Structure formats: structure tokens, C-alpha cells
């Protein structure tokens, strides 16, 4: 994964634009943008400290917010105080 590239995108773009880029270009194969709302919800939940909140993915799977953040490598989108706390 291109963590440095993702960090640059977060710094330069609005969150949703950076997240779209991350899902499409920082994963192989690219993650469908139908997962964008679930990724945003997971980021919001983890940033609020709600790691175990269940989110239903577009493919029908139910995962915790923490599992989505980990699986989609979304740590660069978290508030600094949430890093390393799950």
C-alpha cells in the first residue's frame, strides 16, 4: 500500500476525494466506489471511538468499523488520537 501517497492525498484533497483516490488507486484490485459510504461511516465511527459499531457493506457483509478501517487501510484518515487504539 502507498501510505505516503495516501497521506499526501489526505493533506491535499477533501476527505471524500482522497478516499475515492485511495480506494481506486491504492488497492489492487481497485475497491469499488460502492464501498465509499461504508468507508466514510467506518472512519466516522472509529474517530468517535466506536470501534465495534456494525456497518453493513454493499456486498451484504456486516463488519465492525475497526475491521473496515483495517481491511481498507483507512488509518491515514483517522484522527491522530485514534491511531493505535483499537
- The end-to-end CA distance of the chain, in Å, is 21
Quote the cell numbers at residue 29: 484490485
Interacting residues of 79 by C-beta distance below 8 A, sequence separation 6+: 47
Quote the cell numbers at residue 74: 483507512
Assign residue 60 a region (left: φ > 0; alpha: ψ between -120 and 50; beta: otherwise).
left
Q: Which pLDDT tens digit goes with each residue over 15-57? A: 899 999 999 999 999 999 999 999 999 999 999 999 999 999 9
Element (H, E) at 41: helix 36-47
Running DSSP on this structure, what letter comes out for residue 74? Answer: -
pLDDT range class, residue 84, cuts 50, 70, 90: low
Amino acid at each position: 500500500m502507498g501510505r505516503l501517497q495516501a497521506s499526501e492525498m489526505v493533506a491535499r484533497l477533501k476527505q471524500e476525494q482522497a478516499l475515492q483516490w485511495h480506494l481506486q488507486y491504492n488497492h489492487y484490485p481497485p475497491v469499488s466506489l460502492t464501498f465509499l459510504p461504508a468507508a466514510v461511516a467506518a472512519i466516522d465511527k472509529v474517530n468517535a471511538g466506536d470501534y465495534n459499531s456494525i456497518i453493513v457493506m454493499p456486498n451484504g457483509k456486516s463488519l465492525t468499523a475497526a475491521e473496515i478501517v483495517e481491511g481498507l487501510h483507512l488509518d491515514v484518515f483517522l484522527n491522530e488520537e485514534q491511531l493505535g487504539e483499537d
